[in-house]
Amino acid sequence: MLLAEYGSPVTAARQHHGCSQAELAAVLGISQRHLSDIERGRRDLTQMRAREVAAQAGIEAE
């Protein structure tokens, strides 16, 4: 899987697990637009939110 195919690590992990933006955003309690902005680099992830995203995506956060 190439990062260039997906854009960001969040996008790559989400797509790898077959999850839509709307589905992941609902689990995280944020809007789909907010998640889209994170994936496009328009918003930063807090360390806590990054861990939540990683847990939902089944990956280990650093």
The answer to whether 40 touches 6, Cβ cutoff 8 Å, is no
Q: What is the pTM of this model?
A: 0.72
**Does the structure show a pLDDT above 60 at 61?**
no
Supply the CATH classification number for the domain 3-57.
1.10.260.40
Per-residue pLDDT, 62? 56
**Does the structure show a pLDDT above 80 at 54?**
no
With H, G, I as helix, E, B as strand and everything else as coil, classify residue 8. Answer: coil
Per-residue pLDDT, 59? 62
pLDDT band at 38 (very low <50, low <70, confident <90, very high): confident
- Higher-confidence residue of 58 and 51: namely 51
CA distance 53 to 10: 8
